[in-house]
């Protein structure tokens, strides 16, 4: 099994190189086609035309596009993704600062989505053929039709403003420090032994993570239900019944394991979409992640930063897909090499 | 059995965790309510921690907490000594002698001297760094140091507004030794100033934590710890103040302020400030015709705009100056007269049935109700015979379009002038050598350029007052309204109100 996984990861890493090259080239070309002038925008407003031309030359913007891309690529391979026009800092450093918050949020949201999806899918399947089935179906469709940003606003209003039960701005309460070790606040707070910071960080994570989780769970629910329908037609289910096992035991102990495999694949795909879906939720909750940074970058036409964030999203999705496929191998013995 | 036990334990763990998380609710709230701390919901993060780098009006109150300016303004915007305790501008405005305080230290204990003053306002600009302060200090030829506290600024041409600029955007003294020994990058990560607060923590796009500087040379801040929570969305700021997560916030929609004004726990304010909402115009294309320009101005019902979008608090303006500032003309009104507008357009062959077509650019979200104001104006213009195509542009794009001569005939714009001096109102807005206005006419341009070299204060102010009237009467600019800043705060949290809208952390206090 280990050998299979290592082989799979190695293949994926090799395949990732051309994918990243294509994505970065596409991003580069699309951004350069926009009607903005990075040279002018990186200078004070009173810059003369001559100063802007000089800056354009310094940035290589007067060279042919393939040459510009080659210059960018050479820098990227050395970890330099360009300087943010807005912040006057390396774009890579800005992304590195904000990425852990987004990963933390996405992971928390995915856990919630998985729990809700799993539980909801089981319930949807259990009530099939009963009087509750139409209501359960309608409920899952309603959940599916509400996007994450709308959930964000609803939860903010209900739990943040009306009930004042949970905070909805930032990562941690004012007055509490933010430790910087790994960049993951939940982990860092435990590493320094500050349980109060850990709890505050958890409380600040609840609403945005639930908003995302609620938006992505219905798809998991419905796919799991479909998979269970398929699995229940298999012979071994009948055999389990003949052996006298309870329906709950058959569902959870036998059917679920096999129905989970396609659900797992979907969950992996969903995670990639969820990761990019953090953007609006981060803005609503003033959560200091990469999505919030991307909104700033787009508003200020900060091309180097947009490019770096776009590429980071691509890398994260590739890594997620690789992780999901590896997990698939662990769960499905048929995929293991002999 | 084993499965049952595992499931029970799992459920118990979930319930226990949920209870603990919600039970920690009062803890965080108590800290924010303590009299030695306050939290402000702020609309934007600082662009960077180099205060000389970018002229960002919204960031100035934060910079003023950590850094100090050579001169300052009182709440009525009168220029007052600060790090400079005395200054003398030469009669020809070609030099200015300054005397700095000798009891000022940076947050790391280093004494502030004229070396730092020279470094900030001369050496940094000459080193090739692209700083916005290079614009305001472009006339500084040299700063001659006479002692650790005395120096003389020498200018290449008359700089009559240098005192005003030493209290304006970007003019903060930074530590020469600290930056040169530790590098600029390290300064940006751990900035130090001479201000009433030290920067204790900074999380990009999240929060700025300030701690009182107990060695401050001036009046100590009343509140020991101020957290500036970056909340970009106006609705989220409203929600934050309503739920008690912040103690004060600003730039929230006017209708929300009016709602808070009915709540006894809060104070909602709509304060006029030294910021002008105007329409910048070109002197060519469809606006080459003076009749069209003047007609467009006469057709705008400014009191109606103020009532619709600012609760009637924004003062309609006829000149590029706000009430109470030296350049303001209280006896001049450019009247709202749609009938006159139609007559002027008719002279040029236009009418509501045969309208003149123009482009009208506006931002959306750059300042309160900007897009809505543009649409309202477009409707007013339609009534008289001007067909405006409203185009949304990003603020960041404005200068680029202007440089490339690609702005349309009219652009809705907002211009901030914390000093109130007319040079920074109409002088900058109508200066053809500056990037702010698309108006490139030589007549008005030459008048403006001449005023930049007038050393005598009274003569200079009189000149600007004449210029403002002339510019409006010739359709070179269309001032609309004095802008407002909205503030919502808890009733027990007071602050000093400034005429330019500054909400300074060092003036906050709990009653």
Indicate yes or no: CB of A174 within 8 angstroms of CB of B227. Answer: yes
Tell me whether residues B25 and A165 touch, CB distance under 8 A: yes
The pLDDT tens digits of the residues spanning A297-306 come to 888 888 889 9
**Cβ–Cβ below 8 Å for B32 and A173:** yes
Q: Within an 8 Å CB–CB cutoff, is residue B184 touching chain A?
A: no
- From A233's Cα to the closest Cα of chain B, the distance in A is 26
In b/e form, how buried is each residue of B142-158, taking b as 16+ CB within 10 angstroms? ebeeeeebebbbbbeeb
Residues 457-476 of B with CB under 8 A from A: none
Which of B204, B231, B393, B452 should we substitute to test contact with A (largest number of A Cβ atoms within 10 Å)? Answer: B204
Band (pLDDT 50/70/90 cuts) for residue A185 is: very high
Cβ contact B313:B272 at 8 Å:
yes
Partner residue facing B47 (CB), from A41, A87, A169:
A87
List CB contacts (< 8 A) between A199 and chain B: 20-21, 24
The alpha carbon of residue B143 is apart from the nearest alpha carbon of chain A, in Å, by: 23
Of B283 and A254, the structure prediction assigns the larger pLDDT to B283
Residue in chain B closest to A252 (alpha carbons) equals: B3
Q: What is the pLDDT of residues A60-86, one digit of tens each?
A: 788 888 888 888 888 888 888 888 888
Nearest CA in chain A to B134: A44
Report pLDDT digits (tens) over A81-119: 888 888 878 899 999 999 999 999 999 999 999 999 988
- Name the DSSP class of A30: H
What is the share, in percent, of chain A residues with pLDDT greater than 70?
96
Interchain pair B48, A89: CB under 8 A: yes
Of B39, B45, B233, which is closest to A284 when you measure between CB atoms? B233
Using DSSP, state whether B155 is helix, strand or coil. Answer: strand
The verdict on a CB contact (< 8 Å) between A44 and B131 is yes
Contact between chains at A175 and B41 (C-beta distance less than 8 A)? no
Instruction: Taking residues B127-145, report their average pLDDT.
Output: 90
Across the interface, of B21, B31, B205, the residue whose CB is closest to A174 is B31
* Statement: residue B17 has pLDDT above 70: no
Cβ proximity of A38 and A303 under 8 Å: yes
What's the pLDDT band for B224 if we cut at 50, 70, 90? Answer: very high
Nearest to B231 among A173, A206, A286 (CB): A286
Give me the pLDDT at residue B13, please.
58
The band of A334, judged by pLDDT with boundaries at 50, 70 and 90, is low
DSSP state of B194: S
ipTM: 0.83
Average pLDDT over every residue of B419-445: 89
Could you say which of B188, B232, B435 has the minimum Cβ distance to residue A45?
Answer: B435
Instruction: Determine the pLDDT at residue B31.
Output: 43
Average pLDDT over residues A173-195: 91
How high is the pLDDT of residue B19?
A: 55
| Least confident segment among A256-260, B131-135, B185-189, B347-351 | A256-260
A175: closest CA among B251, B17, B192, B245? B245
**Of the ranges A91-100, B127-136, B269-278, which one carries the lowest mean pLDDT score?**
B127-136
Mean per-residue pLDDT, B75-87? 96
Reported as a single tens digit per residue, the pLDDT across B361-418 is 999 888 888 999 999 999 999 999 999 999 999 887 888 888 888 999 999 999 999 8
Confidence of residue B11 (pLDDT cuts 50, 70, 90): low
Residue A234 has pLDDT above 90, yes or no: no
- The residue of B17, B205, B238 whose CB has the most chain A CBs within 10 angstroms, and thus the best one to mutate to test that interface, is B205
pLDDT of B256: 92
Contact list in B for residue A293 (CB cut-off 8 A) is: 204-205
Residue of chain A nearest B396, judged by CA positions:
A300
DSSP state for residue B424 in the 8-state scheme: I
- Average pLDDT of the segment spanning A174-201: 92
Nearest CB to B236 within list A98, A169, A177: A169
What would the DSSP string read from start to end of B265-290? TEEEEEEEEEEEEEEEE-SSGGGGSH
Compute the nearest-CA separation of B222 from chain A (Å): 17
The string of pLDDT tens digits covering residues A266-283 is 877 788 888 888 999 999
Instruction: List, in order, residues 6 or more apart from B305 with CB less than 8 Å away.
Output: B314, B316, B373, B376, B377, B480, B481
List the single range of A5-14, A43-52, B63-72 with lowest mean pLDDT: A43-52
The pLDDT value recorded for residue B437 is 84
Chain centroid to Cα A79, Å, comes to 23
Closest to B239 (Cβ–Cβ): which among A168, A176, A199? A168
Sequence-ordered list of residues with C-beta below 8 angstroms from that of A129, at least 6 positions apart, any chain: none
Calculate the alpha carbon distances from B88 to A36, A278, B103, B449 in Å: 45, 56, 21, 24
Rounded-to-integer distance, Cα A22 and Cα B21, Å: 45
- Do the beta carbons of residue B439 and residue B476 sit within 8 Å? yes
The answer to whether B160 and B153 have CB atoms below 8 angstroms apart is no
- State whether residue B222 sits within 8 Å of chain A by CB: no
Nearest to B205 among A47, A176, A296 (CB): A296
Do A257 and B172 contact (CB within 8 A), yes or no? Answer: no
Q: Which residues in chain A touch residue B205, judged by CB atoms under 8 angstroms apart? A: 98, 286, 288, 292-293, 296
With beta carbons under 8 A apart, name residues in chain A contacting B242: 161
Please give, rounded to a whole number of angstroms, the shortest distance from the CA of B196 to a CA of chain A: 19
Q: What is the mean pLDDT of residues B84-93?
A: 95
Nearest residue of B to residue A48, measured between CA atoms: B403
Has residue B3 got a pLDDT over 70?
Answer: no
- Residue B59 in this model has a pLDDT that exceeds 90: yes
- pLDDT tier at B14, thresholds 50, 70, 90: low
Q: What is the mean pLDDT of residues B219-227?
A: 96
Q: How far off is chain A from B301, nearest CA to CA, in Å?
A: 31
HSE, side-chain direction, 13 A CA sphere, residue B394: 15
- Residue-level pLDDT at B370: 92
Least confident piece of the model among B139-153, B171-185, B340-354, B394-408: B394-408
* DSSP state, residue B425: I
Nearest residue in B to A97, CA atom: B204
Compute the average pLDDT of residues B217-242: 94
Instruction: Give B 23-52 residues with CB within 8 A of chain A.
Output: 24-25, 27-28, 31-32, 37, 39, 41, 45, 47-48, 50
The edge-to-edge listing of strands for the beta sheet with B150-155 is B84-89, B95-100, B150-155, B140-145
> Which residues of chain B does A97 touch, with a Cβ-Cβ cutoff of 8 Å?
204
Residues in chain A closer than 8 A to B131 (CB atoms) = 44
Inter-chain CB proximity B31 and A176 less than 8 Å: yes
**Mean pLDDT, rounded, of chain A:** 86
The mean of the pLDDT values for chain B is 91
Mention every residue, 6+ apart, whose C-beta is less than 8 A from residue A84.
A90, A91, A94, A297, A302, A304, A305
pLDDT at B203 over 80: yes
Q: Is A83 helix (H, G, I), strand (E, B) or coil?
A: strand
Smallest Cβ–Cβ distance between A301 and the set B24, B50, B397 belongs to B397
For position B21, what pLDDT does the model report? 53
User: CA-CA distances (angstroms) from residue A134 to A127, A221, B69, B406?
Assistant: 9, 15, 69, 59
Query: Cα distance from B115 to chain A (closest Cα, Å)?
Result: 25
Buried b (16+ CB within 10 A) or exposed e, B102-130: eebebbeebebbbbbbbbbbbebbeeeee
Give the minimum alpha-carbon distance from B218 to chain A in angstroms, rounded to a whole number: 25
Q: Which residues contact B311 (CB under 8 A, 6 or more apart)?
A: B254, B255, B257, B258, B270
User: CB B394 to CB A299 under 8 A?
Assistant: yes
């Amino acid at each position: 099994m280990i050998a299979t996984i290592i082989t799979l990861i190695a293949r994926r890493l090799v395949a990732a190189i051309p994918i990243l090259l294509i994505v970065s080239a596409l991003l580069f070309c699309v951004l350069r086609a926009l009607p903005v002038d990075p040279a002018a925008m990186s200078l004070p407003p009173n810059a003369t035309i001559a100063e802007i031309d000089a800056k354009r030359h310094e940035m290589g913007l007067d060279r042919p596009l393939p040459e510009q891309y080659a210059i960018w690529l050479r820098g990227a391979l050395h970890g330099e993704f360009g300087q943010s026009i807005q912040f006057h800092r390396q774009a890579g450093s800005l992304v590195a600062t904000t990425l852990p918050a987004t990963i933390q949020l996405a992971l928390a949201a995915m856990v919630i989505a998985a729990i809700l999806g799993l539980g909801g899918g089981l319930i949807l399947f259990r009530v099939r053929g009963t009087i509750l089935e139409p209501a359960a179906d309608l409920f899952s469709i309603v959940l599916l039709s509400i996007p994450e940003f709308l959930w964000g606003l609803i939860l903010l209003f209900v739990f943040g403003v009306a009930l004042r039960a949970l905070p909805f701005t930032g990562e941690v309460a004012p007055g509490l420090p933010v430790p910087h070790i790994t960049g993951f606040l939940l982990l860092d707070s435990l590493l320094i032994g500050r349980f109060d910071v850990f709890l505050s960080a958890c409380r600040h994570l609840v609403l945005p993570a639930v908003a995302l989780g609620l938006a992505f769970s219905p798809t998991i629910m419905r796919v799991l239900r479909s998979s269970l329908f398929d699995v229940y037609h298999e012979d071994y289910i009948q055999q389990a019944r003949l052996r006298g096992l309870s329906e709950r035991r058959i569902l959870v102990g036998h059917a679920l394991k096999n129905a989970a495999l396609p659900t797992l694949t979907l969950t992996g795909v969903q995670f990639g979409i969820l990761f990019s879906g953090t953007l609006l939720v981060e803005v609503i909750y003033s959560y200091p992640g990469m999505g919030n940074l991307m909104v700033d970058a787009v508003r200020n036409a900060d091309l180097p930063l947009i490019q770096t964030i776009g590429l980071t999203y691509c890398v994260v999705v590739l890594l997620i897909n690789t992780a999901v496929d590896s997990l698939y191998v662990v769960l499905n013995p048929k995929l293991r090499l002999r | 059995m084993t499965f049952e036990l595992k499931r029970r334990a799992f459920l118990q763990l979930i319930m226990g965790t949920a209870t603990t998380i919600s039970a920690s609710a009062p803890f965080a709230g108590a800290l924010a309510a303590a009299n030695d701390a306050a939290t402000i919901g702020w609309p934007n993060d600082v662009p960077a921690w180099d205060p000389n780098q970018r002229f960002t009006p919204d960031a100035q109150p934060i910079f003023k907490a950590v850094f100090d300016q050579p001169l300052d303004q009182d709440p009525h915007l009168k220029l007052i000594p600060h790090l400079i305790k005395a200054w003398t501008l030469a009669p020809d405005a070609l030099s200015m002698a300054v005397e700095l305080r000798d009891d000022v230290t940076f947050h790391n204990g280093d004494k502030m001297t004229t070396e730092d003053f020279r470094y900030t306002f001369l050496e940094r600009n000459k080193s090739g760094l692209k700083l916005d302060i290079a614009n305001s200090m472009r006339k500084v030829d040299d700063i001659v140091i006479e002692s650790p506290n005395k120096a003389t600024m020498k200018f290449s041409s008359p700089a009559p507004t240098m005192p005003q600029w030493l209290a304006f955007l970007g003019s903060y003294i930074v530590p020469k030794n600290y930056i040169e020994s530790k590098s600029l990058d390290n300064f940006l990560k751990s900035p130090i100033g001479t201000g009433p607060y030290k920067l204790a923590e900074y999380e990009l796009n999240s929060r700025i934590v300030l701690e009182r500087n107990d060695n401050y040379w001036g009046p100590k801040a009343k509140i020991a710890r101020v957290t500036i929570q970056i909340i970009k969305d106006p609705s989220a700021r409203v929600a934050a103040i309503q739920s008690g997560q912040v103690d004060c916030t600003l730039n929230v929609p006017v209708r929300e302020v009016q709602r808070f004004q009915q709540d006894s726990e809060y104070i909602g304010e709509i304060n006029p400030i030294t910021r002008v909402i105007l329409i910048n115009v070109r002197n060519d294309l469809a606006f080459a015709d003076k009749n069209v320009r003047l007609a467009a101005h006469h057709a705008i019902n400014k009191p109606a705009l103020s009532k619709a979008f600012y609760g009637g608090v924004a003062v309609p303006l006829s000149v590029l100056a706000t009430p109470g500032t030296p350049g303001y003309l209280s006896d001049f009104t450019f009247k709202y007269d749609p009938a006159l507008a139609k007559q002027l357009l008719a002279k040029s062959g236009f009418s509501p049935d045969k309208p003149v077509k123009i482009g009208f650019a506006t931002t959306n979200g750059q300042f309160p109700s900007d897009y809505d104001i543009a649409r309202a104006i477009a409707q007013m213009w339609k009534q008289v015979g001007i067909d405006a195509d409203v185009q949304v542009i990003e603020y960041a794009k404005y200068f680029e379009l202007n440089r490339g001569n690609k702005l349309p005939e009219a652009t809705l714009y907002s211009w901030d002038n914390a000093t109130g001096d007319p040079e920074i109102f109409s002088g900058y807005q109508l200066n053809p050598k500056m990037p702010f206005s698309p108006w490139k006419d030589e007549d008005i341009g030459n008048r403006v350029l001449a005023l930049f070299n007038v050393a005598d204060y009274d003569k200079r102010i009189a000149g600007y007052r004449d210029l403002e009237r002339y510019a409006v009467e010739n359709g070179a600019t269309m001032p609309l309204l004095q802008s407002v800043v909205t503030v919502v705060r808890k009733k027990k949290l007071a602050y000093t109100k400034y005429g330019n809208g500054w909400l300074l952390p060092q003036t906050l206090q709990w009653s």
